[in-house]
Structures are given as C-alpha cells and as structure tokens.
C-alpha cells in the first residue's frame, strides 16, 4: 500500500510534525510505502519527502498553482490513499479529492473554524457556534479572527469550502470525541467521522514510581495565555508547602510576565523556570513531579502532554476543556476542574499532595489508561484498518461487474 501525506511543514518543531515523524517509521515497519509532501522544512528527515512549495501558498492564484502541481504529483505517484494533515491551499485539497480516496486528520480546528481555534481571545472563552457569516460580527467584540479583512475572508472561505466538500472525503479522523462532535455539528457524515486519539510517545512505566520527597507541581507547555500558565501560578500561590516547575518556550518577555504573576501570587521564591527540555530530561521531570497540572483554557483537541505525564504514573489535574475527557477520568486517574479556576485547581492538587495513597492509586490508574488505549501499536492498527477499508472501498467501486 502506498500512502501520500500532505503537511505544510516537515520538522521536529510542531506538534503535528512530531506526531508524523513518530508515525511514519512505525507505518513503514508494517510494510506501508509512504511519501511526504511538504512546503517548508528538512527533506532529510524522511527519505521519501517531496518539496511542494505551493502547499504554503495563499490566495486564488496560489490555489491554481497548487492544484496543477498536485495533479501532476498524484498522476505520477498514484497513491492508494491520500492523507491530508495541515494544508491551507484549497487547490491542493481539490486535486487530492479528484485523484483518490482522501483521509483528513483534524489536528486542530483549521477546517471548521476561520480562526482555527474556536476560542475568543479578548474574552478568553470557548466558542460554541458553527462557522457562519456571524463570525465576522462576533470577532469585533470577542477578537478571534484576524482584523485584516482579506485574510479573514480567505480563512472563512477555507472553512466553508471544506464543509461543502464533506461528503467527498473518505474519512475524517478526530483526536477525540470532542472534535468529532464539532464535525457532526457541521453535518459531516457520522460514518466518516472517526475518533482516533493520538498515541503516547512516552513508554508507560511497568509499575507506579516512588513518590517525590518534595511536593512539586509541574507545568509543561507553551507559555501562552491559552495554555493557562497564569492559572498554574495562581494555583501554586494557594499551596504554600509546594514548589512549582514551569518548562516551556520561555523568552525574556514571557519570563518577566511569569515572574510578575508569581510575585503577585506570592510564590516567586517557590517557582523554578526552565526552557524546553530534551525527551530524556522531560521523562526525568515527570519522575520528580508529584502532580502534573494541565490548565489549558482553549478546547484542546486532545492534550498529548497529559498522556506523557500519565505514562510515567503522574496523576493529572486538568481543566475540563475540549478532548481532555478522552484520557482523564475524573476521580480515577486525576481530577477535572473548571477552566480558569485557580482555587479549584489548587484544591484538587492539594487533595493529591495530602494523600500519598491517592497519588499512588491514581498514578497506577494513569499508567493503565495509557496501556489500555494510547499505545503506538493500538493507534497504528486502527489507522491501517482505516487505510485498507477506504482503499478497498474505492477498488470495489471501480471493479466492473
């Protein structure tokens, strides 16, 4: 079987790209031939990579160029299944739909929301509405779309076109039931909207870890308002006997914001900051954490970092947003709390810190959660099943009676 992936970037920098670079070698080990078309990145990361600058093009002229170039590529390569990941160019998508079965993964809300986030930045609230003309009025007050009319109109057209094509896709893969519900709200066929959570890239422990001697709360992620880093800091301020560790893409500016927030919360002397860590270092950080706090305030499609914490037996306190319920079972392997609620987050974390037995029990349940549903081989088996079923469907439809 031959699969052609389309994704704008090829690198280790982004979450989608990291997922793909973990995925494609595992698929190759199953005997599946794969090619990776990309606009920007490092071609040496995958031997069958194909530079396609048109993928990053914007506007109708770029769409025409992308359509023509993709048509030629597909005629030459003739993949059994075309897998689209993050592609802005509608001309590329149209060419794919005309040349074979197309599977799309909704890594985010790029194809359902003009702002790609279902999040109002000004009010810091999650959007519950379907994309429509009212988006332009809403953004005036809640600031989700770009204020530049040309780009806003193009983003809206991308969503409306993708939804109009909904019956033409062979399958649309969703990292969580939460994303699938968004698709169904846009009238996507239920049989084509398939929930397929990401796999956990960290190997689960065989047994619960020894508990850290120092009560420690860990935050790991981008230092952005949508990730709720300020909620983490205010939570730490409410637990005087705990220390906090924040790991992320710190810059001088974001470090100042974090420090100012910690000073106001009264925990500056108990909060340690550090930049991105290597995979080995991240595993060690999880081992040293008593509780992992996931305070995101936007509708996460899944939240892979939560899976990584649970794989190492760390109980999680997470905001109840987006796809978090796909892996966090409240009261079993962690606690769900209302988003933006530092007091509720601190109360849940304190409950864990005050009971070593509870931490061990939830840590054990967290490991079992990963073992029972988020291993790479489980994800791969389901994805290969989707590939084969869609490819066979097309072959059967084209076979003369």
Task: Answer yes or no: are the C-beta atoms of 363 and 209 closer than 8 Å.
Answer: yes
Instruction: Reply yes or no on whether the pLDDT at 293 is more than 90.
Output: yes
Is residue 373 very low, low, confident or very high in pLDDT (cuts 50, 70, 90)? very high
Is residue 398 very low, low, confident or very high in pLDDT (cuts 50, 70, 90)? very low
DSSP assignment letter at 302: -
**What would the pLDDT profile of 307-320 be if each residue is shown by its tens digit?**
999 999 999 999 99
Instruction: Reply yes or no on whether the pLDDT at 3 is more than 60.
Output: yes
The C-alpha atoms of residue 8 and residue 268 are separated, in whole angstroms, by 40
How does the average pLDDT of the chain come out, rounded?
93
HSE-CB at 359 with a 13 A cutoff on CA atoms is 24
How large is the average pLDDT for residues 149-155? 88
pLDDT of residue 177: 97
pLDDT of residue 393: 54
**What would the pLDDT profile of 14-47 be if each residue is shown by its tens digit?**
789 989 999 999 999 999 999 999 999 999 999 9
Task: Answer yes or no: are the C-beta atoms of 95 and 71 closer than 8 Å.
Answer: yes
pLDDT of residue 353: 97
**What would the pLDDT profile of 374-392 be if each residue is shown by its tens digit?**
999 999 999 999 999 999 6
The C-alpha atoms of residue 79 and residue 73 are separated, in whole angstroms, by 10
Is residue 141 very low, low, confident or very high in pLDDT (cuts 50, 70, 90)? confident
b/e map 228-264, b = 16+ CB within 10 Å:
bbbbbbbbbbbbeebbbbbbbebeeebeebbeebbee
How large is the average pLDDT for residues 201-223? 93
pLDDT of residue 18: 86
**By C-alpha distance, which of 82, 75, 33 is closest to 390?**
82
Q: Pairing relation of β-strands 9-10 and 40-41? A: parallel
HSE-CB at 335 with a 13 A cutoff on CA atoms is 19
pLDDT of residue 394: 52
Instruction: Reply yes or no on whether the pLDDT at 48 is more than 80.
Output: yes
Is residue 279 very low, low, confident or very high in pLDDT (cuts 50, 70, 90)? confident
Instruction: Reply yes or no on whether the pLDDT at 108 is more than 60.
Output: yes
How many other β-carbons are positioned within 10 Å of the β-carbon of residue 151? Answer: 14
How large is the average pLDDT for residues 82-93? 96
How many other β-carbons are positioned within 10 Å of the β-carbon of residue 57? Answer: 20
pLDDT of residue 14: 78
pLDDT of residue 401: 35
How large is the average pLDDT for residues 197-216? 94
How large is the average pLDDT for residues 102-122? 94
The C-alpha atoms of residue 303 and residue 200 are separated, in whole angstroms, by 10
**By C-alpha distance, which of 291, 337, 343, 340 is closest to 318?**
337
Q: Which residues, including other chains, have CB under 8 Å from residue 57's CB and lie 6 or more apart?
A: 63, 65, 66, 88, 89, 91
DSSP code string of 62-99? HHHHHHHHHHHHHHHH--SEEEE-S---HHHHHHHHTS
Q: Which tokens sit at 76?
A: 């030459």
């Amino acid at each position: 079987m031959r699969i052609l992936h389309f994704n704008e970037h090829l690198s280790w920098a982004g979450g989608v790209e990291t997922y793909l670079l973990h995925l494609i070698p595992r698929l190759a080990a199953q005997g599946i031939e794969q090619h990776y078309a990309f606009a920007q990145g490092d071609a040496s990361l995958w031997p069958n990579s194909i530079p396609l600058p048109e993928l990053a093009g914007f506007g109708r002229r770029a769409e025409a160029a992308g359509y023509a170039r993709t048509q030629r590529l597909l005629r030459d390569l003739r993949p059994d299944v075309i897998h689209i990941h993050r592609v802005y160019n509608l001309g590329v998508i149209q060419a794919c739909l005309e040349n074979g079965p197309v599977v799309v993964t909704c890594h985010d809300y790029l194809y359902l929301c003009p702002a790609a986030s279902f999040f109002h930045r000004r009010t810091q609230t999650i959007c519950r509405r379907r994309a429509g003309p009212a988006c332009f009025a809403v953004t005036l007050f809640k600031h989700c779309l770009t204020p530049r009319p040309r780009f806003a109109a193009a983003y809206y057209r991308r969503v409306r076109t993708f939804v109009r094509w909904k019956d033409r896709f062979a399958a649309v893969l969703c990292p969580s039931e939460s994303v699938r519900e968004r698709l169904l709200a846009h009238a996507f066929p239920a049989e084509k909207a398939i929930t397929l959570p990401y796999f956990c890239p960290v190997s689960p422990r065989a047994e619960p870890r020894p508990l850290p001697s120092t009560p420690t709360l860990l935050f790991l992620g981008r230092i952005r308002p949508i990730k709720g880093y300020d909620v983490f800091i205010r939570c730490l301020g409410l637990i005087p006997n705990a220390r906090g560790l924040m790991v992320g893409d710190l810059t001088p500016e974001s470090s100042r914001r974090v420090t100012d927030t910690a000073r106001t919360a009264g925990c500056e002397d108990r909060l340690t900051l550090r930049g991105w860590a290597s995979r080995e270092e991240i595993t060690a950080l999880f081992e040293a954490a008593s509780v992992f706090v996931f305070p995101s305030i936007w509708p996460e499609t899944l939240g892979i970092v939560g899976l990584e914490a649970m794989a190492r037996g760390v109980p999680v306190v997470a905001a109840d947003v987006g796809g978090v319920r796909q892996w966090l079972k409240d009261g079993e392997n962690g606690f769900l709390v209302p988003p933006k609620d530092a007091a509720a987050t601190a109360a849940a974390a304190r409950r864990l810190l005050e009971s070593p037995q509870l931490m061990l029990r939830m840590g054990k349940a967290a490991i079992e959660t990963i073992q029972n549903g988020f291993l790479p081989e489980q994800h791969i088996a389901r994805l290969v099943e989707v590939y084969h079923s869609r490819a066979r469907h097309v072959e059967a439809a084209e076979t003369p009676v």
